Every structure is written in structure tokens, then in C-alpha cells.
Structure 1
Amino acid sequence: MKIQEQLRGTGVAVITPFTNDNKIDFPALGKVIEHLIVNKVEYLVLLGTTGETPVLSNPEKIAILNYSYDLVNNRVPILVGIGGNDTADLIHDLTHFPLEKAAAILSASPYYNKPSQEGIFQHYKMVAAASPLPIILYNVPGRTGRNMSAATTLRIANEITNIIGIKEASGDMQQCMQILKDRPNDFLVLSGDDALALPQMACGMEGVISVAANAFPLEFGDMVRACLNNDYAKARSINNHLMTPYDLMFVENNPAGVKAFMAIQGLISNQLRMPNIPLSEGVFNQINHWIKQQG
């Protein structure tokens, strides 16, 4: 099966659990991974922003990868997040991280530097030349400070052969539709916005790399599968139920929101690494109230 087919559906940007003394909680990570696989997500994304990678050391990142590879044992594909604003450093990571058991790389466009569109193109051209795996672009201007335009995405899609898709999280529906309209046939387009996933899939996206699915893997996955099967009545019903969690998850910080849901569900401790902090008491109580209402 082509990698583009394997990555249709729901991928989860996996959180990193921490202990009370700020170490990686590997037993909790294992519990989360099993929770996701048992509840039928199509693949996992490790070392994304939701995994708090800006505050993980390289040895910690490598330990997460090796632990997860062993636990997953090829049951679902694994994407590895390797991005950054130093092209040379990113290429170094691509050649030094353990990637033999990964299916593809998810690589966010450079943040903070605010390169031109030509700079973004040249960055990805160099990264693709060095990558041992296919690459999924990640456009998330709310974090990087620079939007990757539809024209740049399409140029990359047409000119760089081992860049096979994009996680599009600009929130700009017109930009998303332009990419979908003009992309090559085998170029995968995935949503990076949980709350917009349904309308984006109605426009032609093939799936979602989700934050919310950490807490609601089966329900969110069923919504995505319903979209892929053109059962939008079912998809709308599920999406309507999840709209309040979407709002509460992102009102202050990601992953503070989803970690609060997962802590109440008993999956992890409600711990984050500075400068991120747990949700305020008021929002946490709203989440707790919503969960209790579900019975």
C-alpha cells in the first residue's frame, strides 16, 4: 500500500506525559499509545508540537521514538516530527535520529525567521534531498509566524518528488481549496485543525492529524471515517458533540487543554513543562463538568 493510502484517516499528534518531577512518564506514554491503537486511529505522529518537543532534549526525543517503536511494533504507521528554523540543524537530525521504523517525516515550515516564500521552498528542497523518508509539509502560521502560500505548496508538490503531502493548519479555507483544486493526484492533503476537519474533508482532504483524538480517538476517528465514506449526516452528529471539547482544548494553550481532558479520563497526570502550564482552574472545571455530563 502506498504511504499516501496508509495516512488517510485519523493520525494523532501524541502528547508527552510527564511525571510530577518533570521527567517523561514512559508508562503513561505506553498507556496513551495503547488507548489510541485500541480505539482504531490510523497512525501516530510523534514529536509534534503537541508533544511539547520545544522543551524536550534530543536524547529525550530519541528515547520516545525507540520506546514507541518497540511498543507499537508495526501495528500502525508512525510519523516523526522533525522541523525547525535552522535548515542545517534539521538536516543533521534527519541523519542522526532513529528513523528506520518510521513511515514518514512531518516537517513544520521554519518558525520565527519569517523566510520569504522562495526561502521556504529552498528550505524544503534541501531537507527533502537529505531525508531518508517521505516528507509531509506542515503549514501552521499561527505558530511559525509565516504562512506557506498555496502557490508555494503547489510548487513543492510538483517539483520535489519525496514531499508527498501537507498538514494544512492555516485555517484559511480558500487557501485549502486552492491546494485541493490544483494539487497533483497523489499529493495528500490533511487537516491540521480539529474544528475545521469536517468542512475541509467535505472539500476533499483525506484526513486529519488531530490533537482532540488523544482524548477522543474512537469518536473523532469515526467522524473522519464517516467523512471518507461520504456519510456527512453521521459526521455532523459526531462533530456537533465534540464542538465544546474543541473550544475548551484550545482556549488557553495546546497541549494544556487536551492534557486536562486526558488527566480527568485517568490516562496521564496533568503535568506540562515550562513555559507551558496547566489550564486555569475555571477552564479545568468546565472540562470536568462536560465530561461528567456525558455519563
Structure 2
Amino acid sequence: MSLKTQLRGTGVALVTPFTADENIDFPALEKLIDFVISNGVEYVVSLGTTGETPTLSKQEKIDIINFTYEKVNGKVPIVVGVGGNNTKAVVNDLQTLPLDKAVAVLSASPYYNKPSQEGIFLHYKALAEASPKPILLYNVPGRTGRNMEASTTLRLAHEVKNIAGIKEAANNMVQCMQILKDKPADFLVVSGDDDLVLPQLSCGMDGVISVAANCLPKAFTEMVRKGLSGDFAGAKKLNDTLLEAYSLLFAENNPAGVKAFLTELGLIQNHLRLPMVPLSSGLHEKVKAFLKK
């Protein structure tokens, strides 16, 4: 089965639950994995940036990956996030993290350094050559400080053998359409903007790697399925019920919003590692009110 087929639909960028003393809460992670799979996600992403990966040690990352393999147990495909702004360090991670049971690696473009488009191209080329698994590009300029232009994405897609797709989160519909217009036929294009997924599906995207699917997996995955099948009226009806949630999830920061939702659902404790902090009390009350509705 091709990666484009395996990862069509909704992937969920799993949060990392913590205990009050900031250790990883593995029982809560197990509950979350069971929750999202039983409510219809097509695959899970372990160690995406929603999982607060900059605050995790190398050993914690290894433990989370292995735990996720064990608990998912083949029910759905697993993508592992491996990224950073030091190319040599990312190459080392690709060669030393346990990636054997993953179907692909999701790697955000280098943050803070603000490389040129050529620098971004050569960074990903080095990762692709080192990776034992196909690489999914991740363009999220709101976090990295540098947009990966459509021309760079397409150059990587056409010229670099082990580049298999992209999570596009530039919040730019024209850029999405440029990629979709000129990409190779087997190149996976998924959204990283939960609030734009519906119109992006109408342009030909293959699905989404979602934050909202942590806490609202049933409605969200059904909305995506309807969009992929061409039932845009049905998808819009579901999406309309989720619009307020999208705003609440990202009003302050990610993953504070989604952790507030998951806390109210009884799945995790509301703890984050600095510099991230829990959602402010006023917004948290709005999360409670939304879930009551």
C-alpha cells in the first residue's frame, strides 16, 4: 500500500501528557491513543510539535515512540516527528531513534535560523538521504519564522527520492493550490491548519494532520471523510459545529488549548512544560462551555 493511500484522511498530532511533577504520564497517553483510534483517526503522529518535543530529552522521545508502537499495536499507521534547526543533529536522530515501525517521518523546516530557500532544500535533501523512512515535509512559518515556498516544496518533491509528501500549514490557500497543481501524482499533501481543512479538501488535499482530532476526533474525522468523498454539504454541516472549537484551541497557544479540552474530557491532567503554560482561566471556562453544548 502506498504512503498516499495509508495516510489519506485524518492523522492526529498527539499531545504528550505530563504528571504534576512533569514526568510523562504514560497511562494518560495510553488512554489518549485508545480514544483517538476508537473514534476514527486514520493514523497517529508521535512527537509532533504539539507533543512539546522541544522540551523532551532524547531518552524520553525513545520511550514515547516505543510506548506508542506497543499501544497502537498495528491498529493504524504511525508517523514519527523528527526535526530541528541543526541539520547534523537531525540526521543523527534519524539514524538512532527507533523508527523501524513507523511508516514515515514528519520533519518541520528549520526554525529560528531562517535559512534561504536553498538552505531549506539542502537541509531536507540531507535528511532524505539519511532517513530509513520516507520524509514528510512540514511547512509551518508561523512557528519557524520562514515560509517554505511552493517552488521549494515542488523541487524537493520532484528531485529528492525519499521526500514523500508535505504537511502544509502556511495558512495560504494560493500556495496550497500551487503545490497541488504541479506535484508528482504520488506526492501526499495534507493540511496542518485545522480551520482550513474543508476548503483545502475541495482543492485536492489528501487529508490533515490535526490538533483538534486529539479532543474532537469523531466529528472531525467524519468531516474530513465527507470532504474526501465529495460530500461537501455534509462536511460543512459538521465543520460549522467545530468552528468555535478551532478558535479556542489556538487562541493562546498550542498545545495549551487542546490540553484544556482533554483535561475536561478526563483524559489527561492539565500540565505543560515551561515555557508553555496552561490556558488562561477565562478561555478555559469557554472550553468548558463549548463541551457542555
Note whether the superposition's TM-score is higher than 0.5. Answer: yes
Identify the residue that residue 179 of structure 1 maps to in structure 2.
179
CA distance in 2, matches of 1:219, 1:162: 33
Identify the residue that residue 160 of structure 2 maps to in structure 1.
160
Identify the residue that residue 21 of structure 1 maps to in structure 2.
21
Shift of 1:161: 1.4
Identify the residue that residue 261 of structure 1 maps to in structure 2.
261
Identify the residue that residue 283 of structure 2 maps to in structure 1.
283
Shift of 1:76: 0.5
1:120 aligns to 2:115 (yes or no): no
Shift of 1:70: 0.8
State the TM-score, normalized to the length of structure 2.
0.99
Q: Which amino acid aligns with 1:208?
A: V
Q: Which amino acid aligns with 1:43?
A: Y
Q: Which amino acid aligns with 1:105?
A: V
CA distance in 1, matches of 2:113, 2:20: 34
Q: Which runs of 5+ in 2 are unaligned?
A: none
CA distance in 2, matches of 1:283, 1:72: 32
CA distance in 1, matches of 2:187, 2:69: 26
CA distance in 2, matches of 1:159, 1:279: 43
Deviations, residues 53-110 of structure 1 (Å, cap 9, x unaligned) = 0101110010000111011111100000001100000000000000111110001111
Identify the residue that residue 252 of structure 1 maps to in structure 2.
252
- Segments of 4+ in structure 1 off by > 3 A? none
Q: Secondary structure at the match of 2:245?
A: helix
CA distance in 2, matches of 1:251, 1:260: 12
Identify the residue that residue 134 of structure 1 maps to in structure 2.
134
Identify the residue that residue 225 of structure 2 maps to in structure 1.
225
Q: Which amino acid aligns with 2:103?
A: A
Identify the residue that residue 36 of structure 2 maps to in structure 1.
36
CA distance in 1, matches of 2:117, 2:280: 38
CA distance in 1, matches of 2:244, 2:57: 34
1:96 aligns to 2:96 (yes or no): yes
Shift of 1:148: 0.2
CA distance in 2, matches of 1:268, 1:122: 39
Q: Secondary structure at the match of 2:252?
A: coil
Shift of 1:162: 1.2
CA distance in 2, matches of 1:33, 1:71: 7
Deviations, residues 202-223 of structure 1 (Å, cap 9, x unaligned) = 1110100000000011110000
Superposition pairs for residues 197-236 of structure 1, below 5 Å?
Answer: 197-236=197-236
Q: Which runs of 5+ in 1 are unaligned?
A: none
Deviations, residues 250-286 of structure 1 (Å, cap 9, x unaligned) = 0001000011011001111111111100000000001
Identify the residue that residue 111 of structure 2 maps to in structure 1.
111
Identify the residue that residue 195 of structure 2 maps to in structure 1.
195
Q: Which amino acid aligns with 2:272?
A: L
Identify the residue that residue 67 of structure 2 maps to in structure 1.
67
Q: Secondary structure at the match of 1:190?
A: strand
Q: Secondary structure at the match of 1:137?
A: strand
Q: Secondary structure at the match of 1:71?
A: helix
Q: Secondary structure at the match of 2:178?
A: helix
CA distance in 2, matches of 1:292, 1:114: 43
1:57 aligns to 2:57 (yes or no): yes
Identify the residue that residue 84 of structure 1 maps to in structure 2.
84
State whether residues 3 and 188 of structure 2, in contact with CA within 8 Å, keep that contact through their aligned partners in structure 1.
Answer: no
CA distance in 2, matches of 1:73, 1:292: 33
Shift of 1:40: 1.4
CA distance in 1, matches of 2:152, 2:201: 21
> Percent same amino acid among aligned pairs?
62
